[in-house]
Amino acid sequence: MPSSLSGAGDRGPLFDPVFGAEALGAALSDRAWIRALLDVEVALTRAAAALGRVEETHADAIASAAATLAEDLDPADLGRRSAAGGNPVIPLVSLLREHADAPARAVHVGATSQDILDTALVLLARRAGKIVLTNLCSAADGAARLAATHRATPMVARTLGQQALPTTFGALAAGWLLSLDDAVTELDRALTRLPAQYGGAAGTLAAVHPDGFAFADAVADLLGLARPLAPWHTARTPITTLATTLGVAAGAVAKPATDVVLMASTEVGEVSEDAPGGSSAMPHKRNPVAAITARAAARRVPGLVSTILSSTDHEFQRAAGAWHAEWETICDILRLTGGAAHQLSVSLDGLHIHTDALDRNLDLTGGAILAEKVTAALSEHTDDARTIVTDAALAGRRLDEDPGTTAHLDPHEVRELLDPTRYLGHATDIVDRVLAHHDSADRISGDTR
């Protein structure tokens, strides 16, 4: 496996496809990191040329050299060169100066390593974030289709692991959709607001005074990033906001994935995936692999978010360690969240809903899930309504066959009370409301959706 500047040791061709991160693996690879770092250096020189500090021909020469290095530079070699200085910018700048037909002063104008790394990181996040957003949108669309198709399909709702009251599968899917849509909106906002970083050696822009703010704005514009209000060397809210927003998105993915895994269990049997996975030892297994791997990827995200949040104490004008801890961690959060969203979309797009199993499980208690409705009707005839219904439920007797109940209510009336389709509350209205929001809002900047 190639050395990694941007991911944990298990990232690569073996595991990325398993966890849905094949496209993100490429977008956050060592090669992608090198390209992003060089893109920032080129933008910096272009900004300097626009401000009259560098010849335009020198900027063109640096851009040409950067394009060659982006294709030819060996990440492993750059990694080895980076060890002495603690980051890859130092040797990369030397290589760019060596290969560009331009004076050394035209490269890395007024910048420090953190300027390049921070801006490259947010540039990578914007690029990879588009893939994450696409995957989240796909998962949300899958949930929307299920909600619309099964808007009024009755099933049992479960609370604390126990059967509770009737609901619809559409309402369950609408709950998934609500969280996924929120995650899409918030992540799009966080990505759009990611700013370029340019502050110089100590964050004062001294090397390019009085053009510092114009420099920073020009770099941001050239790279398609937000303009920074001021250097944010040790004000890490852009990074923590990105990380926590991705953490919330991973949670929005994990919820439906968990429901699918549980509903696909043999005893429940309410759903199955279109292409279930088998077992190396048990031929009968039909595992909901897409939901399982979505859940697995999402489970790793909160710990990584915690790493980012615990690294916010950047001392003075450059942190010793806290800053370095962000680089790979942010990339892994992007990769895992986007991969989880991809796997969830695969699961939901091919999810089969077994209405016979929904009906069977809905009737599993013999109507006990509608005990509160029968109790209310009984209470008009006797003060012992709750005791009668509780005794029948504990004894496992159907309420329409229980002597205590039928002594006060006609069995036909009880059967009507036990009809789950008559006690769905606003389940279908919830579906309609969430779907209307999903369909009407243009929540994504650009053309992601």
Q: Would you call 314 helix, strand, or coil by DSSP?
A: coil
Q: 403-429 in b/e burial notation, b at 16+ Cβ within 10 A?
A: ebbeebbeeeebeebbebeebbeebee
Report yes or no on whether pTM surpasses 0.85: yes
pLDDT confidence of residue 365: 84
pLDDT reported for residue 7? 40
Which pLDDT value is given to residue 320? 86
- Angle at the Cα of 88 from the Cα atoms of 83 and 90, rounded to 5 degrees: 95
In a 3-state reduction of DSSP, which class is residue 387?
Answer: helix
d(CA 269, CA 357): 6
Q: Digits of tens for pLDDT over the chain (449 positions)? A: 343 433 443 467 778 887 777 888 899 999 999 999 999 999 999 999 999 999 999 999 999 999 999 999 999 999 999 999 999 999 999 999 999 999 999 999 999 999 999 999 999 999 999 999 999 999 999 999 999 999 999 999 999 999 889 999 999 999 999 999 999 999 999 999 999 999 999 999 999 999 999 999 999 999 999 999 999 999 999 999 999 999 999 999 999 999 999 999 999 999 999 875 544 444 454 788 999 999 999 999 999 999 999 999 999 988 889 889 999 999 999 999 999 999 999 999 999 999 999 999 998 887 888 888 899 999 999 999 999 999 988 888 888 899 999 999 999 998 899 888 889 999 999 999 999 999 986 555 544 44
- The tally of CA atoms less than 13 A away on the side-chain side of residue 119 is 37
Query: Which residues, in sequence order, are CB contacts of 154 under 8 Å at separation 6+?
Result: 166, 167, 168, 169, 358, 359, 362, 420, 421, 424
What pairing do the DSSP bridges indicate for beta strands 352-353 and 271-272?
A: antiparallel
Cβ pair 242, 125 in contact under 8 A: yes
Distance of CA 156 to CAs 161, 168, 189, 307, 372, Å? 11, 7, 36, 39, 15
Give 68's contacts (C-beta < 8 A, 6+ positions apart). 99
Helix axes 326-349, 237-263, angle to 10 degrees: 30
Note the Cα 359 to chain centre separation in Å.
Answer: 33
Which residues belong to the active site?
A: 279, 318
Neighbouring CB atoms inside 10 A of 149's CB total 13
CATH code given to domain 22-357: 1.20.200.10
Could you tell me the residue ranges of all domains in the chain? 22-357, 367-417
> C-alpha 26: how far from its chain's center?
17
